[in-house]
């Protein structure tokens, strides 16, 4: 029976009575239109809207396609006793060869590289292992692969999330189990992961190549960031056999107008937050946080001037805080944009109207928005009191859950839930956009990289490493560098693969334009874009700048058994 033949609220009641089992194919969505575009396209794999994909793009992925995409995609993290479950998840990644090769961003692996570089400066100079034996183990870092999911909404209501997770751990102790609250607690899923915790550093570019343009170019486009790192998962004394599930490589990438998908782990969005909550963030939270971050950056900048060694020590932290500051500035700009607030207001009004039309829903949830609004003023009044604010935050979480339940009752899985640092698939189109009275091209080239270096006189942060300048005459300057698409991403998607309909890697997500940051609260793809590293520049740099032709061969499947000779090289 098609989901579209029953009212959404009735569908939800049936789903509550008959929850899904540990089968991914059971809940493929049949939505044939995007119900609420402002809520975005961060689809969960247990509720992929294949009907929408068919209607929008004339493409219907099979279950085998979806399984392969899911199992080839990874989440990157590190052990941290202070984090929930003892692991801090922060980026995305993917298997890109049959030999456990993992692709992610340079900025996702900065801490890992800094932790093993010793007296060398691989963050600055780059690294290439040159052979299996020379790959450097990264203690504490790991990736997870989503292998199963189960709807546990009823179980959580009856037993609590901890009990559900504990039962799963007892039944399958070899997996990492998480109970994920979707729709602000309107639905709960048990996600079970296979974990690979023997990761080794294979190759990283110069830090300045990865972060070219520095803070001024961050969250901007056109862009020339070579933001990649390759790691490898090992299984005992040999590289992991990942041939069953890994993406293939397409050096030529995608063309404008092509359908593409991002599979990754968006960290957090606030698309179900109320208008009152957005106004609180705009008027109070973000201004205060930005003042704090700017002051902290000033202090760290002064400390870094003490010596080259101190600058090297503080570099990863400074870069991370600069990124957070600019992200918060983008979120604030988005909330100050009348277009975004108008979209948010209409979405909230539509949901409240739908709730009001159902007496049961109105009785159960109708006053939640007014209660949230009252709590925002109480939070303002309690500024400076981390006990009263905690109490109010707990009360707010209860109301958020009610709003999430109301939203799920009205729309069900026809809308994607807010980001939760769990695996999603997002559809989009490779496409340029209007910018500053002109047009931003859908891709940039090596010509632009060298032009930007020379136009700024080689001054930091627009300075190229000498190794690149030495190779300028040998490089193909027509090589695509970065490109943009309309997929829905946010922080946490860094390191996500971008793939085409044939599940070829056609890009590596590393950023979005500044307009994308407003999508934290409502999704709007008029000018917001993801920014990816093009696979062609990765191969070109490996072969001609980093002396890593063997790694390029592994990516392009030109050498099915990569050389495993010992030795390392840095550039």
Per residue in 169-199, pLDDT (tens digit) is: 999 999 999 999 999 999 999 999 999 999 9
Question: Please, are residues 85 and 178 in contact by the beta-carbon 8 Å criterion?
Answer: yes
The tokens describing 513, both together, are 């334009």
Average pLDDT for residues 433-442, to the nearest whole number?
96
Q: How confident is the model at residue 316 (pLDDT cuts 50, 70, 90)?
A: confident
Q: Taking all residues of the chain, what is their mean pLDDT, rounded to a whole number?
A: 92
pLDDT at res. 10: 35
519-562: pLDDT as tens digits: 999 999 999 999 999 999 999 999 999 999 999 999 999 965 65
**Cα–Cα–Cα angle for 316, 320, 323, nearest 5°?**
140
Q: Where are the domains of the chain?
A: 275-411
479: pLDDT strictly greater than 70: yes
State residue 35's pLDDT score. Answer: 82
Say if residue 18's pLDDT is above 50.
no
Note the pLDDT of residue 414.
94
For 320, the token pair is 């991370």
**Predicted confidence (pLDDT) at residue 97 exceeds the cutoff of 50:** yes
| CA gap 571, 469 in Å, rounded | 13
pLDDT digits (tens, 9 = 90+) for 254-305: 999 999 999 999 999 999 999 999 999 999 999 999 999 999 999 999 999 9
Task: Determine the Cα–Cα distance for residues 190 and 187; give it in Å rounded to an integer.
Answer: 10
Give the predicted TM-score (pTM) of the model. 0.90
> For residue 187, what pLDDT is reported?
96
Mean pLDDT, rounded, for 458-462: 96
Give the pLDDT band (50/70/90) at residue 383: confident
pLDDT band at 386 (very low <50, low <70, confident <90, very high): confident
What would the mean pLDDT of 43-48 be, rounded to a whole number? 97
Placement of tokens 């946080």 in the chain? 289
User: Which segments within 475-538 are labelled E, that is strand?
Assistant: 480-485, 497-499, 504-512, 530-533
Mean pLDDT across the stretch 374-389? 92
């Amino acid at each position: 029976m098609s989901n579209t033949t029953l009212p959404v609220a009735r569908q939800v009641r049936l789903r509550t009575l008959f929850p899904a089992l540990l089968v991914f194919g059971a809940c493929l969505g049949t939505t044939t239109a995007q119900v609420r575009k402002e809520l975005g396209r961060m689809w969960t794999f247990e509720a992929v809207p294949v009907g929408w994909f068919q209607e929008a793009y004339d493409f219907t992925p099979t279950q085998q396609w979806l399984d392969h995409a899911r199992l080839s995609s990874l989440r990157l993290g590190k052990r941290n006793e202070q984090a929930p479950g003892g692991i801090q998840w922060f980026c995305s990644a993917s298997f890109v060869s049959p030999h456990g090769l993992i692709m992610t961003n340079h900025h996702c692996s900065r801490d890992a590289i800094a932790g093993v570089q010793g007296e060398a400066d691989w963050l600055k100079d780059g690294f290439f292992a040159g052979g299996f034996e020379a790959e450097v183990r990264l203690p504490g870092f790991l990736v997870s692969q989503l292998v199963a999911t189960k709807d546990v909404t009823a179980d959580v209501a009856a037993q609590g999330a901890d009990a559900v997770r504990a039962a799963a751990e007892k039944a399958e102790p070899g997996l990492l189990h998480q109970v994920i609250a979707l729709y602000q607690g309107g639905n709960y899923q048990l996600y079970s992961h296979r974990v690979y915790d023997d990761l080794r550093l294979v190759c990283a570019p110069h830090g300045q190549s990865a972060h070219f343009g520095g803070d001024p170019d961050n969250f901007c486009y056109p862009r020339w960031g070579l933001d990649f790192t390759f790691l490898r998962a090992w299984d005992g004394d040999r590289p992991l056999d990942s041939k069953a599930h890994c993406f293939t490589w397409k050096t030529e990438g995608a063309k404008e107008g092509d359908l593409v998908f991002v599979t990754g782990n968006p960290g957090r969005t606030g698309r179900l937050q109320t208008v009152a909550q957005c106004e609180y963030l705009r008027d109070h939270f973000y201004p205060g946080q930005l003042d704090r971050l700017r002051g902290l950056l000033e202090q760290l900048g002064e400390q870094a001037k003490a010596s080259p060694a101190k600058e090297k020590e503080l570099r990863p932290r400074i870069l991370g805080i600069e990124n957070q500051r600019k992200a918060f500035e983008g979120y604030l700009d988005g909330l100050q944009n009348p277009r975004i607030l108008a979209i948010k207001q209409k979405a909230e009004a539509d949901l409240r109207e739908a709730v009001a039309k159902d007496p049961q829903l109105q009785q159960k949830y109708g006053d939640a928005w007014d209660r949230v609004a009252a709590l925002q003023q109480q939070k303002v009044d309690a500024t400076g009191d981390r006990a009263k604010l905690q109490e109010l935050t707990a009360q707010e979480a209860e109301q958020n859950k009610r709003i999430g339940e109301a939203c799920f009752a009205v729309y069900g899985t026809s809308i994607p839930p807010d980001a939760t640092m769990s695996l999603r698939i997002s559809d989009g189109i490779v496409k340029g956009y209007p910018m500053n009275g002109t047009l931003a091209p859908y891709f940039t080239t090596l010509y632009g990289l060298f032009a930007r270096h020379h136009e700024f006189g080689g001054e930091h942060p627009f300075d190229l490493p000498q190794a690149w300048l030495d190779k300028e005459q040998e490089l193909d300057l027509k090589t695509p560098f970065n490109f943009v698409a309309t997929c829905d991403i946010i922080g946490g998607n860094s390191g996500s693969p971008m793939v085409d309909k044939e599940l070829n890697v056609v890009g590596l997500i590393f950023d979005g334009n500044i307009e994308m940051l407003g999508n934290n609260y409502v999704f709007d793809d008029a000018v917001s874009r993801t920014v990816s590293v093009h696979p062609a520049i990765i191969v070109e740099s490996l072969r001609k700048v980093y002396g890593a032709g063997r790694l390029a061969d592994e990516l392009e499947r030109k050498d099915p058994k990569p050389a495993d000779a010992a030795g390392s090289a840095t550039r």
